[in-house]
Structure 1
């Protein structure tokens, strides 16, 4: 009886601690209580190691400012529209103002992206800043690493950030070789440190490359051969990556340097000199007016989010876009696990007569995540949302388009991990011609997809529904 009473006390205690720590985020609270009850004590140990408070122990991104934001002349005409509220909302949640991007290029496959990336890395003269969630020790990873070492030997400053969990399989000896080759490398929260500091659940999911402060890349692709379609299990890998030049690169550069200060311990003033000094950027002035938007530039605005923000900017961005839409919402995402607010915004749009379409993978890379995704679909389809499954392989692109006028492309999925636990980066795209290109890509993807039939889906077995329900309970932790 004594042992039984002790065990019961510990079970009650762990529930009490979880309630205290997660009461502000009910979606996580439910998931952690489920884990703690299914695997008592050990489940609580996992919670303690993974759910440490990020905001208490780190500088908030809300306090790290970019260039002073003013009312951009490039947005003045746009603000006299039904989307005025959306513009103001995005302006309030982003560190960066809208800026002009030149030579914009969209990649829908890995081969063309890596061809251009390697060429730009080869042409770099001053510095290379690279940040990836996944860096593989495969043929592509080896090729990139050797090129970076050669550029460092030429005197180019090369700085790299990789995530400790996303790049867990990348050998330490390879990192040591990069450092020995003159490359500055830092790992964001290695697995051991993540456990020690109780931040295992928080990852840096950003993908950024900046060459000489003049050319920048971001999107869904990491460094790995699977992004070139070499993964036989998943088949063709469909992703979206973007390349820009011009003033808008500042947002990528500044975001990288913020992350660099965090992982390296370098003084921010020293990093800020990269923006103020020889690379030609200044945080003391608005940057959006230097390029002529009317002569071929594309107006974009970078938005970052992370668990150390008081307000989750990309969650706010997606919700704001969905509620502002007037005629259509098109979503491409590999992981669709929305919270109640996002789901209600989509349902409200569909019930109001908007054309709402969601494109997800037909071949998932995670069976558990796919089950969690399916658990949300019946309610959405019943209210008029159309859901499609991409068939040729795995679609990893993250893209939202509303009304053929505005789009966002970046690293954030439509799931609670991206919204609340990961460091992410998206770009809001205002230029109609660029949005039209992205919309064309969306409809080309639909031609290779199959719409889920609502009636057939609604008649699935109770056993399948039970599996979906279990996955949904765990989904905030996936």
Structure 2
């Protein structure tokens, strides 16, 4: 019997050894390059400013608002998304951008090389002729091929003229208006801000220059303007790459006194974040974590369930959203702080990707986000300790996937 399977055993062992060596080599390069990249790209936290904030939870509402603002643009439209599909929804957006460019508006668009690969099907040369300049973000580099494949521009920012900004979790495509049959209704969180957007435009500029290897920003119209409103909220943008985001999140949790409400599509916190959550719960902070029951990345769920088991505490409530797919990335702390943006609770956001978040301060905006959270909670069921212990054996096995592999989930 052993002779019969000897060849299969030898081949399997050889393949396993080769895969282990490949993963080891890749991890070493990726982690080394990530540290070096972080050193060259320190955290960028913009100055505190005031402005009007609109919360957007539906894709149709976001695209209608965005297209309307593009129609009104007079100076510039800078747009950056992680994923830009090439479908009906994207074509509507591109048409609005073309019309703006023909009016003399400066239009620049970037999509992540991996996330927006469908844009290779778009008539990019025609877009350029009409004045819409599209560039791929985070191209590959042969000298650090493993890191450049894994390191993605996960930001989603839009700066229109001098005062309108968009930032949040939505990308561009039909699935974000609920047209994906598997995922169903798409729930997300974006914000539209009316205030001075110079620093968001500058971040777009820095990313653009890095992606193109440029040192001079041609025909730039970035300048400071004053803004006054009777309905102002204090906010600032946070642009990160790597572990500095983790440090910020740890500090926010450490400062919580009453409660922390989290919504995230992927729950795979680092050891430092998990430990701080548990410490907060032990000192009496009430924590709620909402994740989707249906996921667009199923392999992230088993490690998430495993972490939930490790973090079981009477002050931590686990919720599973059931009305389609929850893609919101928000953290509400006490009654005066909200974090909303692109960063997930996973290794990619914490150690690899470029992320963009908006930090909002004040009781009024905090309450508005709480209402959004509670509305989503109506469609969520509670995850109990028994639910986790009764998960299928294969979920429990995958939940213990080595962290060196989870690093790329």
TM over 0.5: yes
Structure 1 pair 470–440 and aligned structure 2 pair: CA distance change class (3 A): same
Q: What secondary structure is seen at the aligned counterpart in 2 of 1:300?
A: strand
Match of 2:231 in 1: 296
Distance, in Å, in 1 between the alignment partners of 2:345 and 2:122 is 35
Q: 2:160 aligns to what?
A: 211
Alignment of 1:59-458 (within 5 A): 60-62=40-42, 94-102=44-52, 104-171=53-120, 173-190=122-139, 196=145, 198-247=147-196, 249-268=197-216, 274-276=221-223, 280-281=224-225, 291=227, 295-307=230-242, 312-382=243-313, 384-458=315-389
In 2: Cα distance, 1:206 partner to 1:36 partner: 36
Alignment partners' CA distance in 2, 1:49 and 1:60: 17
Query: Quick one: structure 1 residues 162 and 269, their matched pair in 2 at CA, closer, same or farther if it must change by over 3 Å?
Result: closer
Give the distance between the partners of 1:383 and 1:189, measured in 2 at CA: 43
In structure 2, relative to structure 1, the CA distance for the partners of 1:193 and 1:155 (3 Å cut) is farther
Q: Does 1:465 align with 2:400?
A: no
Deviation at 1:356, TM superposition (A): 0.5
Give CA deviations for 1:21-79 in whole Å, capped at 9, x if unaligned: xxxxxxxxxxxxxx9857145445755785661564698233xxxxxxxxxxxxxxxxx
1: CA distance between counterparts of 2:37 and 2:287?
A: 40
Q: Output one character per residue of 1:403-423: Cα deviation in whole Å (capped at 9) or x when no partner.
A: 122111111011121011010
Indicate how the Cα distance of structure 1 residues 97 and 58 shifts in structure 2: closer, same or farther if over 3 A, else same. closer
Counterparts of 1:323 and 1:203 in 2: how far apart (Å)? 29
Kept in 1: contact 2:303–2:399 (CA 8 A): yes
The answer to whether the Cα contact below 8 Å between 1:107 and 1:113 also exists between their aligned partners in 2 is yes
Partner Cα distance (1:388, 1:340) in 2: 21
C-alpha change, 1:375 and 1:225, in structure 2 (3 Å) is same
Distance 1:451 1:242 in 2: 28
- CA distance in structure 2 between the aligned counterparts of 1:344 and 1:59, rounded to whole angstroms: 26
CA contact (8 A) 1:175 1:185 kept: yes
Distance in 2, matches of 1:353 and 1:61, equals 37
Which sections of structure 2, spanning at least 5 residues, go unmatched?
Answer: 1-12
Deviation, structure 1 residue 470? 2.0
1:341 and 1:415 map into 2 onto residues whose CA distance is: 12
Q: Name the structure 1 match of 2:6.
A: none
Query: Per the alignment, do residues 382 and 228 of structure 1 end up closer, same or farther by CA in structure 2, a change over 3 Å counting?
Result: same
TM-score by length of 2: 0.89
Counterpart-to-counterpart distance in 1, 2:387 and 2:263 = 23
Whether contact under 8 Å (2:58, 2:186) holds in the other structure is: yes
**CA distance in structure 2 between the aligned counterparts of 1:211 and 1:381, rounded to whole angstroms:** 45
Q: Distance in 2 between matches of 1:57 and 1:334?
A: 26
Q: 1:324 to 1:49 in 2, by over 3 A?
A: closer
1:464 Cα shift? 3.1
Assess if the C-alpha contact under 8 Å between 2:140 and 2:148 holds in 1. no
Q: Distance in 2 between matches of 1:321 and 1:402?
A: 8
d(CA) in 2 for partners of 1:142, 1:358 = 36
Q: What is the distance in 1 between the residues matched to 2:96 and 2:218? A: 26
Aligned length: 396
Per-residue Cα deviation, 1:355-410 (whole angstroms, up to 9, x for no partner):
10000001111111111211211011246411100001100010001112211111
RMSD across aligned C-alpha pairs, in angstroms?
2.6
Deviation, structure 1 residue 274: 3.0
Map Cα deviations across residues 66-107 of structure 1 (whole Å, 9 max, x no partner). xxxxxxxxxxxxxxxxxxxxxxxxxxx6531111112x2110
Unaligned runs of 5+ in 1: 1-10, 12-34, 63-92, 282-289
SS across alignment from 2:407 = helix
Structure 1: 4+ residue segments shifted above 4 A: 35-38, 44-52, 54-59, 191-198, 268-271, 290-293
Whether the aligned pair in 2 keeps the contact of 1:94 and 1:313 (CA below 8 Å) is no
Cα distance in 2 for partners of 1:153, 1:228 equals 28
- The correspondence of residues 27-38 of structure 1 with structure 2, limited to 5 A, is 37=17
